[in-house]
Structure formats: structure tokens, C-alpha cells
């Protein structure tokens, strides 16, 4: 397989997965605000914090308010992770490889692109914002659905999966971080079982969570589920196992497998019940750094 094709497939998957996760993050925040309409302490800064793009943001905007943050995350061209940019990059990456992919996948990406690019989020009515976001999530899933159902298993498939799950692991980690910062910065309210559960819903994780944990749910249980559950495909641990599977199917992956299994072990060994918010934050930050090393290694070996 050509290195260039592998590179495009990998980044195509990363950008589409990123689109989905950023949409989910915005969704989490919008829902939280609806739940605490009077609590002005809840703000939009954590979203920018978790993506590590504060400098870029502050260059243009003064206040971390809903309008500014949403503009920045949706359509700002200087923000490389804005939904607009993610989809432009997806389009760019699919261009020379689209004949290797099922036609239906290309059609799905076009739909998603038309749904997002060129629309101003500030022009979308409040009532329709959540729906708009849900649509984005469901369209990205439509894209991967087309891939899963129609693409032969082989290197093409593995590079898409690899890109998707590396991106996903990174983003789950960031989303957990985002939730905990929202929670810890402002101690004006305590998250009850219901709030933790609604957060899981936004991550499409409630049903899966309920199967392993019934009754009251607290921070440890929810975070440990999102980090360490071994069967839910939107948990860090599970995503790492899928990355391992991909690597096993690719050539020259010995070193990468070693790096990945170290991360898996770290995850297994983590004692979340002992972690306060700062410790958890450091743990997640470390995880993100490890992943970025894997990413660099993938690039140097294959592309």
C-alpha cells in the first residue's frame, strides 16, 4: 500500500472522528447550561482549555461567552480544529483516495460537509442548535458505518480504524477532563446521579453504563467506566485495545505495539478512586502525551 494513501486514510478518519467529538463536547456544555439556567458560573472556557487553543482564542476574542466560543469552534478558519476546518481537511484527504473507499462513504462525507460548512452557528436558532449537533454526530457515524459495512478488511480499513481510535482516545480523555474542570472550578453545585448519567447520555454511554452499574452513580464510577471499561467502544481502555488490534494487522508495528501496551498498562494500574481532580487531570494529560508519541511514531514508520 502506498504511504501517501495510508496517510490520507489515517487523517481522513482522524478529522471525521474529531468532528464528531467536538460536536459532542459542545453538546455536553449546551445541555449542562440548560440544566442550570440560573448558574452563571458555568462557562465555556473549559472547552477551549481542553483543546489547548487558548492563545489562539484570546488573540481574537475577549470573552469566553457562548457566542464567541461557538463561533470559534464552528467556523473560525484560524482554529485548525474548528468543525469547518476538520471537514475541509476531511475533504482534502479523501480527494485522492476516494476510489479506494465505498461510494456510500464519500456520499456521507459530502452530506456532512454540506450540513456544516458555510453555515454560521450564530444564525441557527437556539431551539435548533442541539438538533444541529446531533445531526453532525449521526452523520459522522453514517460515514464510519458505510466504511464498516462496505470496505474489505485490509490495510485501508486498518488505517482508517487506527486514525479513528487514536483520535477518539485523545478526545475521550479531553472530554472527561472538560467535565471535571467544569465541575471542580465552580463548586457552586454538586453533580448528582442524574447529572452524571445525562453526561453519559451525551457520550452515548448511558445504556452501556447501566448494564454494569445500577442504582446510584458517582464520579468514580462514571469516570472509571469511561476510562477503564473493556467492552464499551467509547471508553479509553477499549479504544486502546482496538488500536492494538489494528497494529497487529499492520506490518512493521512491533515498536508501536510496545508503546501502546505500555499505555494500556498505565490505564489498568490507575487507581481512580484515589485521584482528586488535579491528579486525574495530570493522568489524562499524560495519556494525551503518550498518544501523541504513538501518533508521531505512526507517521515516521508508515508515511
CB 260 within 8 A of CB 247: yes
**Residue closer to another protein, measured from CB, 61 or 157:** 157
Using alpha carbons, select from 208, 280, 194 the residue that is nearest to residue 238.
208
Return the C-alpha cell found at 48.
477551549
Return the C-alpha cell found at 34.
440548560
The one among 239, 250, 256, 280 contacting another protein by CB under 8 A:
250
The one among 3, 110, 150, 193 contacting another protein by CB under 8 A:
3
Q: What is the DSSP string of 119-181?
A: --GGGS-HHHHHHHHHHHHHHHHHHHHHHHHHSPSSHHHHHHHHHHHHHHHHHHHHHHHHHHH
Which residues in 82-111 contact another protein (CB under 8 A)? 95-96, 99, 103
Report the alpha-carbon distance of residue 275 to residue 160 in Å, rounded: 34
Is 2 near another protein (CB under 8 A)? yes
CB of 263 to another protein, least distance (A): 22
The one among 125, 187, 251, 269 contacting another protein by CB under 8 A:
251
* Number of residues this chain uses to bind another protein (CB under 8 A): 16
* Cα angle 272, 280, 191; round to 5: 80
**Residue closer to another protein, measured from CB, 61 or 303:** 303
CB of 251 to another protein, least distance (A): 5
**Residue closer to another protein, measured from CB, 9 or 70:** 9
**Residue closer to another protein, measured from CB, 2 or 212:** 2
3-state secondary structure of 53: coil
Report the alpha-carbon distance of residue 137 to residue 140 in Å, rounded: 5
**Residue closer to another protein, measured from CB, 107 or 282:** 107
Which residues in 16-75 contact another protein (CB under 8 A)? none
Q: Tally the C-alpha atoms within 13 A of residue 193's C-alpha that lie toward its C-beta.
A: 7
Cα 182 versus chain centre, distance: 17
Residues 252-271 as x/- pattern, contact with another protein by CB under 8 A: x-------------------
Which residues in 268-287 contact another protein (CB under 8 A)? none
**Residue closer to another protein, measured from CB, 184 or 299:** 299
Is 150 near another protein (CB under 8 A)? no
Contacts of 61 (CB under 8 A, 6+ apart): 68, 71, 72
The one among 74, 237, 283, 302 contacting another protein by CB under 8 A:
302
CB 231 within 8 A of CB 211: no
Is 155 near another protein (CB under 8 A)? yes
CB of 94 to another protein, least distance (A): 11
* Part in contact with another protein (CB under 8 A); list of ranges 1-9, 54-62, 186-194, 220-228: 1-9
Please give the torsion angle defined by the CA atoms of residues 260, 262, 264 and 270, in that order, rounded to the nearest 10 degrees: -150
Report the alpha-carbon distance of residue 101 to residue 108 in Å, rounded: 12
* Part in contact with another protein (CB under 8 A); list of ranges 40-48, 223-231, 262-270, 295-303: 295-303
**Residue closer to another protein, measured from CB, 52 or 154:** 154
Using alpha carbons, select from 214, 220, 294, 209 the residue that is nearest to residue 257.
294
List of residues contacting another protein (CB under 8 A): 1-4, 6, 95-96, 99, 103, 155, 250-252, 301-303
Amino acid at each position: 500500500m502506498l504511504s501517501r494513501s495510508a496517510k490520507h486514510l489515517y487523517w481522513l478518519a482522524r478529522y471525521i472522528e474529531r468532528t464528531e467529538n467536538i460536536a459532542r463536547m459542545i453538546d455536553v456544555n449546551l445541555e449542562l447550561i440548560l440544566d442550570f439556567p440560573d448558574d452563571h458560573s458555568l462557562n465555556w472556557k473549559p472547552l477551549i482549555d481542553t483543546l489547548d487553543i487558548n492563545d489562539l482564542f484570546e488573540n481574537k476574542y475577549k470573552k469566553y461567552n457562548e457566542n464567541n466560543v461557538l463561533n470559534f469552534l464552528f467556523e473560525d478558519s484560524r482554529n485548525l480544529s474548528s468543525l469547518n476546518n476538520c471537514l475541509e481537511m476531511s475533504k482534502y484527504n479523501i480527494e485522492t483516495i476516494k476510489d479506494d473507499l465505498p461510494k456510500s462513504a464519500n456520499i456521507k462525507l459530502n452530506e456532512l460537509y454540506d450540513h456544516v460548512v458555510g453555515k454560521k452557528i450564530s444564525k441557527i436558532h437556539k431551539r435548533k442548535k442541539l438538533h444541529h449537533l446531533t445531526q453532525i454526530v449521526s452523520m459522522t457515524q453514517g460515514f464510519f458505518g458505510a466504511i464498516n459495512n462496505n470496505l474489505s478488511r485490509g490495510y485501508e480499513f486498518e488505517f482508517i480504524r487506527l486514525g479513528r481510535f487514536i483520535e477518539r482516545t485523545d478526545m475521550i480523555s479531553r472530554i472527561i477532563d472538560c467535565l471535571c474542570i467544569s465541575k471542580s472550578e465552580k463548586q457552586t453545585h454538586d453533580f448528582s446521579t442524574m447529572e452524571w448519567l445525562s453526561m453519559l447520555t451525551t457520550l452515548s454511554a448511558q445504556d452501556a453504563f447501566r448494564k454494569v452499574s445500577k442504582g446510584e452513580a458517582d464520579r468514580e464510577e462514571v469516570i472509571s467506566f469511561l476510562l477503564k471499561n473493556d467492552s464499551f467502544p467509547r471508553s479509553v481502555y477499549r479504544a486502546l485495545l482496538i488500536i492494538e488490534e489494528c497494529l497487529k494487522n499492520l506490518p512493521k508495528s512491533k515498536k508501536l505495539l510496545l508503546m501502546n501496551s505500555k499505555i494500556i498498562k498505565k490505564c489498568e494500574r490507575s487507581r481512580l478512586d484515589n485521584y482528586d481532580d488535579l491528579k486525574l487531570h495530570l493522568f489524562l494529560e499524560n495519556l494525551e502525551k503518550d498518544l501523541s508519541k504513538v501518533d508521531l511514531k505512526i507517521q515516521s514508520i508508515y508515511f
